[in-house]
């Protein structure tokens, strides 16, 4: 397995991680036995980087990940997140919290559900607009001092927020959506990460499954699938984005790989400080994704991909308005 370093504090992870969210929430069609088998197969294949959060489920995903990795705890990096608070009576309603006392209580909850003594990488899931980032990161730094967390991360933050946070305590990784159809981080966030020596963890590097070429009809989504509410999967946007994916399918066919492998290889080629975490709940998709590690894209390939799928090409915003409101820009 290829390895990559995130940040300058000593955090090393497999070049491809595994996003575990869909095993418990948001995408429909869940099968816990297959999800557990997928996690275990990932370990067998050399994956060391596993991503979860307290709000996935909520809470059930951390339990699943912790149970599946318990017997290989010393071989893996477990990343989890706090900060998005879901209404227990209506999980579709959510807010954010970055108050120091909440940081501490959220960490205790995650430690308990994961069944671990220390969290390897602890992210603030979304910045609380009511709490200065210095206060939240200060509380996170206290967790490092107390031996409950090894490395700190932030998710979906602006370059300015990252710089302010990094001045309080070294940030090892920033997690943001990044793929061929979401290239916003290239404007200011990726340059800031490079400047500060911060690792970058792209989530949804396959465009929430769209870049795999497997999604052809809106009607194929199950009733509880989050993507039914995503602007990029609705109306005219759906067909426009299908047309873009056709380019990826053609390029992949010419290279003898799958569209998913081509899309992941493109992300991996953006820098050695990037470690994407494609999510899947099935072993066959895991094996397909890992095949991207053997695909080397030449400069001419990258140029052609940029020509066919330039920044801003995807139709529609990446989140519904309410969710975009939680993103620190």
The one catalytic residue among 27, 56, 102, 226: 56
Fold of 3-208+267-295: TIM Barrel (3.20.20)
Q: How far apart are CA 42 and CA 52, in angstroms?
A: 15
Residue-level pLDDT at 69:
98
To the query of whether residue 203 is one of the catalytic residues in this protein, the response is no
pTM of this prediction?
0.94
Residue-level pLDDT at 270:
97
Contact 213, 242 (CB under 8 A): no
Q: How far apart are CA 318 and CA 233, in angstroms?
A: 9
Q: Where are the domains of the chain?
A: 3-208+267-295
Residue-level pLDDT at 191:
97
**Tokens read off for 96:** 């954010």
Residue 71, phi-psi category: left (phi > 0), alpha (psi -120 to 50), beta (remainder): alpha
Residue-level pLDDT at 91:
67
Q: Helix or strand or coil: residue 63?
A: helix
| φ, ψ dihedrals at 289, nearest 5° | -60, -40
Which stretches in the chain have pLDDT values below 70?
91-93, 325, 329
Q: Find tokens 């397995």 and name the residue.
A: 1
Nearest to 61 by CA among 85, 41, 40, 35: 35
Nearest to 9 by CA among 263, 196, 207: 196
């Amino acid at each position: 397995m290829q390895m990559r370093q995130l940040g300058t504090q000593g955090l090393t992870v497999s070049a491809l991680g595994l996003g575990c969210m869909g095993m418990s929430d948001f995408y429909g069609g869940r099968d816990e036995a297959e999800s557990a088998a997928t996690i275990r197969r990932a370990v067998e294949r050399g994956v060391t980087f596993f991503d979860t959060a307290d709000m996935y489920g909520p809470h059930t995903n951390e339990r699943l990940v912790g149970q599946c990795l318990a017997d290989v705890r010393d071989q893996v990096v477990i990343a989890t997140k706090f900060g998005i608070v879901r209404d227990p009576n209506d999980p579709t309603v959510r807010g954010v919290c970055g108050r120091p006392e909440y940081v501490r209580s959220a960490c205790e909850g995650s430690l308990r559900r994961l069944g671990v003594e220390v969290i390897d990488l602890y992210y603030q899931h979304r910045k609380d607009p009511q709490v200065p980032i210095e206060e939240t990161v200060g509380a996170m730094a206290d967790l490092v001092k107390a031996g409950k967390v090894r490395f700190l991360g932030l998710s979906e933050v602006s370059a300015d927020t990252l710089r302010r946070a990094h001045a309080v305590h070294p940030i090892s990784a920033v997690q943001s959506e990044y793929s061929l159809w979401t290239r916003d981080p290239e404007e200011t966030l990726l340059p800031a990460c490079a400047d500060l020596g911060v690792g970058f963890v792209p989530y949804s590097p396959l465009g929430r499954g769209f870049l795999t070429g497997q999604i052809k009809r809106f009607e194929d989504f199950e009733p509880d699938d989050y993507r039914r509410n995503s602007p990029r999967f609705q109306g005219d946007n759906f067909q426009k984005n299908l047309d873009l994916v056709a380019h990826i399918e053609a390029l992949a066919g010419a290279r003898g790989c799958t569209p998913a492998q081509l899309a992941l290889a493109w992300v991996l080629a953006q820098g050695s400080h990037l470690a994407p975490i494609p999510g899947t709940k099935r072993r066959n998709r895991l094996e397909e994704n890992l095949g991207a590690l053997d695909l080397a894209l030449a400069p001419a390939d990258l140029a052609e991909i940029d020509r066919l799928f330039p920044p801003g090409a995807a139709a529609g915003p990446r989140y519904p308005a309410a969710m975009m409101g939680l993103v620190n820009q």
